[in-house]
Amino acid sequence: MDNIAAWFFRVVRTRLIIVMSALYLIFSLYLLPKIINTGNVGPLDLLFWYNHNTLYMMFSSYGEAIRNIYKIGLLTADVIYPIFYGTLLAMIIALVQKKLTIPFSRRIIFIPFVAVFFDFIENALLVFLLNIYPNKNMLVADIAGYVTATKWCAFGIIPPLIIYLIIYGIRNRKRKSQNQ
């Protein structure tokens, strides 16, 4: 883990974050909606939470063709996407920590990968449920909803963490300059 963290801190640059952010916007706003096109209903994994009733209502609304497209999207683009956003967020945290010389453990950059982990579990559960559809597994469908909510909660921790690190780093820098 320390070697991976050291790599992040070695390669992170402002230009890299800008390029990755631009790619993220292209991927999330243009490519992902085309690859995971669920019609007017929308994908389940963008909901904060759902239960088995919502899941099966949406599966039914998709129709067979869209369910197949959704499943392919979950197995392809939605595998790359979490790795990319997790890496981008880890890079942003590493850059903030590096530029502001924040004395926290470098392992803090791995926090975005908690959301990535739950995103992968969510995808696996949705693919399983799509594979057995029209058969239903209410327990797994409900668990998928809770995993989705956990993913969003993990994701929601990251912006306040980055803001906290920036404020902490600026205050720490001011204190050091006043003491000199």
Distance CA 25, CA 166 (A): 23
3-state class (DSSP) for residue 100? coil
- Residues 100 and 108: their CA atoms lie apart, in Å, by 15
- pLDDT by residue for the chain (180 residues), tens digit each? 889 999 999 999 999 999 999 999 999 998 888 777 777 888 898 999 999 999 999 999 999 999 999 999 999 999 999 999 999 999 999 999 999 988 889 999 999 999 999 999 999 999 999 999 999 999 999 999 999 999 999 999 999 999 999 999 999 888 877 877
Domain boundary assignment for the chain: 2-36+45-179
> Residue type for 26, please?
I
